[in-house]
Amino acid sequence: MTLRFTIEAKDRGTPARAGVVASERGSFRTPAFMPVGTAATVKGVWPAQLREMGYGCILGNTYHLYLRPGHERVRGLGGLHRFMGWDRLILTDSGGFQVFSMSALRKVSDEAVSFRSHVDGSAHILTPELAVEIQETLGSDLRMALDECVAYPAERREIEEAVRRTTLWAERSLSARRLPDGGMLGIVQGGMFADLRRRSVEEICALPFEGFAIGGVSVGEGKELQRETVERTAPMLPADAPRYLMGVGTPGDLLYAVARGVDLFDCVLPTRNARNGMMFTSAGQVTVKQARYKDDSLPPDERCGCPTCRTFSRAYLRHLHMQGEMLSSMAMTVHNLTFYSRLMERAREAISRGNFGEFMKESLGSGIE
């Protein structure tokens, strides 16, 4: 069985939709946020906590797992799910984004991208075929085709080249599939150029992928250009396949994209910001470094029922953060991920009721950014 996507409800006033993504391993509801588990762990939380928060799919990074501990080692230990103690779905990226953003001495050709590891400088060559092989070896459920992701700003010529190469690599990625299970998603590039985005959509969406992603965003373009790109690109993607906006974003960014018909998201913001002492709440951001929280006995978010908000005050979390205590990151990560999960849950409910626009307006009005 390959990946299935079922739309269960459509909003009345916007292109937002609520659905279910299903593989042989299980299913999860969309719109969905996927926490990032770079090195086979979502930093600071136990797998059981992710389940309790309602997450049905998390993300693993091919680039990192390929370098350490190595995909063959992970297979030998029973695959990525067993390795990290997570029995729900896993999406792996292709490794491309990290190769283009983290590695050194990068050299790209139509054949492959060669690079040196950011860890030890060792030389590696990533091809579309290898990216598929690594992901199949890890045993992820949703796999991404290798794309060429270009940072902003970039010359038109550079983006044009990336669009062309991304299509070439998408075709090779599909041909490289060996396993019949799970699903593969193609990635649309095109930078901030409307016509190149359209060209990439036309080329990528003509291919038999199980889903389609908007790539080449969250690369330094800023909120306005990003939203323009989402607004322009999302409606062009096939309506009957899941749409994935890669590497985005704040709660407000998610709501904005859901309203344009996007189904899937991943981002390091809720987990990374938690480690920096920042929490997303229904009344806006709480940054515990601020001295105003020294004696604040309130929970981070009075409208949240997560273990952190049930147990700890802002003053305590500030104390932990200032002392560099692990529980600071742990507790704020649980809060932020609960906040994201609950936001997507409420988005699904609003879509089912047919009033997502109203829900979004209220959420943004209450302070969600």
**253 has catalytic annotation:** no
Please state, as a whole number, how many other Cβ atoms lie within 10 Å of the Cβ of residue 182. Answer: 24
User: Of the listed pieces 72-80, 176-184, 248-256, 276-284, which binds a second copy according to CB under 8 A?
Assistant: 72-80
361 binds a second copy (CB under 8 A): no
Please, what is the minimum distance in Å from the beta carbon of residue 83 to a second copy?
Answer: 6
Q: How many residues bind a second copy (CB under 8 A)?
A: 37
76 binds a second copy (CB under 8 A): yes
Judged by CB under 8 A, the chain residues 188 through 217 that form the site for a second copy are: none
Cα distances (angstroms) measured from residue 360 to each of 77, 91, 256, 332 = 44, 27, 8, 24
**295 has catalytic annotation:** no
Compare residues 257 and 274 and give the one whose CB is closer to a second copy.
274
Query: Rounded to a whole number, what is the distance in angstroms from the first to the last CA of the chain?
Result: 39
At 117, which amino acid appears?
Answer: S
Active-site residue (options: 93, 147, 263, 301): 93
Please, what is the minimum distance in Å from the beta carbon of residue 16 to a second copy?
Answer: 34
Cα distances (angstroms) measured from residue 357 to each of 45, 162, 263, 288, 345 = 33, 35, 16, 32, 15
138 binds a second copy (CB under 8 A): no
Tokens of residue 8, six digits: 């269960």
CB 35 within 8 A of CB 338: no
90 binds a second copy (CB under 8 A): no
Q: Which of 326, 361, 362, 366 binds a second copy (CB under 8 A)?
A: 326
Please state, as a whole number, how many other Cβ atoms lie within 10 Å of the Cβ of residue 132. Answer: 25
**H or E element that contains 253:** helix 251-258
Q: Which of 312, 339, 340, 356 binds a second copy (CB under 8 A)?
A: 312
Strands 142-144 and 183-188, bridge-based pairing:
parallel
Please, what is the minimum distance in Å from the beta carbon of residue 51 to a second copy?
Answer: 11
User: Of the listed pieces 1-9, 52-60, 133-141, 309-317, which binds a second copy according to CB under 8 A?
Assistant: 309-317
**H or E element that contains 91:** strand 89-92
Q: How far is the C-alpha of 263 from the C-alpha of 183, rounded, in Å?
A: 15
Q: How far is the C-alpha of 337 from the C-alpha of 316, rounded, in Å?
A: 19
Q: Which of 39, 108, 168, 205 binds a second copy (CB under 8 A)?
A: 39
Compare residues 74 and 187 and give the one whose CB is closer to a second copy.
74
Q: Which of 6, 12, 24, 46 binds a second copy (CB under 8 A)?
A: 46
Site string (50-69) toward a second copy, x via CB under 8 A: ------------------xx
Active-site residue (options: 11, 147, 266, 301): 266
Q: What are phi and psi of 314, to 5 degrees?
A: -60, -40
Q: How far is the C-alpha of 230 from the C-alpha of 261, rounded, in Å?
A: 9
| DSSP-assigned letters across all residues of 153-215 | S--HHHHHHHHHHHHHHHHHHHHT---SSBEEEEEE--TT-HHHHHHHHHHHHTS--SEEEE-
Q: Which of 8, 325, 362, 369 binds a second copy (CB under 8 A)?
A: 325
Compare residues 77 and 151 and give the one whose CB is closer to a second copy.
77
Q: Which of 83, 265, 340, 359 binds a second copy (CB under 8 A)?
A: 83
Q: Which of 16, 34, 84, 219 binds a second copy (CB under 8 A)?
A: 84
Query: Radius of gyration over alpha carbons of the chain, in Å?
Result: 20
Please, what is the minimum distance in Å from the beta carbon of residue 294 to a second copy?
Answer: 7
Judged by CB under 8 A, the chain residues 269 through 298 that form the site for a second copy are: 294-295, 297
Residue (of 212, 236, 227, 283) closest to 259 by Cα position: 227
CB 113 within 8 A of CB 125: yes
CB 31 within 8 A of CB 15: no
Q: Which residues bind a second copy (CB under 8 A)?
A: 39-41, 43-48, 68-69, 73, 76-78, 83-85, 294-295, 297, 307, 311-313, 315-316, 319-320, 322-323, 325-327, 329-331
Instruction: Give catalytic residue positions.
Output: 93, 266
